[in-house]
């Protein structure tokens, strides 16, 4: 008998998380990402902070490794189902470890790629919009995502009265 081995995907998952962490602006992005976890659906939380390091919003994050040079990911519908019950926005991050690139997409039930009665759907990333890099575009869009989510939450009581 031998001790139980690590999962076959352990090294790939760890490399993807390490690559992702090396690409983010750690001044404004505070991550709490679990590795080697047994939790389904998401790997952790990202909290955005302003220049004074005050939190401005957060979201659930799922990180996946994609093949080198790829800009597509076959996303399980279960991640969309999870976003319906999460109390935070859900963001999928796909990492091309070999080329040190990461792409992201907000996951929502109204995604145009989502087809009824399938177990997965293909997300195609736009490298000019969906890349996590030093241009800061991802950070601006993440702030817009959490601000939109906060507006929806604070506006709900008014909507409910109507």
The strand pairing partners of 91, in sequence order, are 61, 106
Label residue 7 by pLDDT band (50, 70, 90). Answer: confident
Q: What percent of the chain has pLDDT over 90?
A: 83
Q: In terms of DSSP bridges, do strands 44-49 and 55-65 run parallel, antiparallel, or are they unpaired?
A: antiparallel
Label residue 155 by pLDDT band (50, 70, 90). Answer: confident
Q: What is the 3-state secondary structure (H, E, C) of the chain?
A: CCCCCCCCCHHHHHHHHHHHHHHCCCCCEEEEECCCCCCCCCCEEEEEECCCCCEEEEEEEEEEECCCCCCEEEEEHHHHHHHHHCCCCEEEEEEECCCCEEEEEEECCCCCCCCCCCCEEEEECCCCCCECCCCCHHHHHHHHHHHHHHHHHHHHHHHHHC
**Section 30-52 average pLDDT:** 92
Q: What is the CA radius of gyration of the chain?
A: 17
Tens-digit pLDDT profile for residues 54-74: 999 999 999 999 999 999 999
Q: Rounded to two decimals, what is the model's pTM? A: 0.92
The pLDDT of residue 31 is 97
Q: In terms of DSSP bridges, do strands 44-49 and 90-96 run parallel, antiparallel, or are they unpaired?
A: unpaired
Cβ proximity of 93 and 20 under 8 Å: yes
Tens-digit pLDDT profile for residues 107-121: 999 999 998 889 999
Please determine, for residue 38, whether its predicted confidence score (pLDDT) is greater than 90. Answer: no
The strand pairing partners of 33, in sequence order, are 44
The pLDDT of residue 153 is 86
What's the whole-number average pLDDT of the chain?
94
């Amino acid at each position: 008998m031998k001790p139980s081995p690590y999962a076959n995907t352990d090294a790939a998952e760890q490399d993807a998380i390490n690559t992702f962490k090396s690409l983010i602006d750690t001044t404004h992005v505070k991550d709490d990402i679990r590795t080697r976890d047994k939790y389904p659906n998401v790997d952790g939380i990202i909290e955005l902070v302003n220049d004074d390091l005050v939190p401005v919003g957060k979201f659930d994050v799922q990180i996946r490794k994609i093949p080198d040079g790829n800009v597509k990911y076959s996303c399980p519908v279960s991640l969309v189902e999870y976003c319906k019950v999460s109390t935070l926005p859900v963001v999928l991050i796909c990492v091309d470890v070999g080329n040190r690139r990461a792409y992201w997409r907000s996951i929502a039930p109204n995604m145009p790629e989502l087809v009824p009665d399938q177990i997965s759907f293909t997300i195609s990333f736009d490298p000019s919009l969906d890349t996590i890099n030093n241009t800061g575009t991802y950070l601006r869009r993440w702030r817009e995502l959490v601000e939109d989510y906060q507006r929806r939450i604070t506006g709900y009581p008014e909507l409910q009265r109507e």
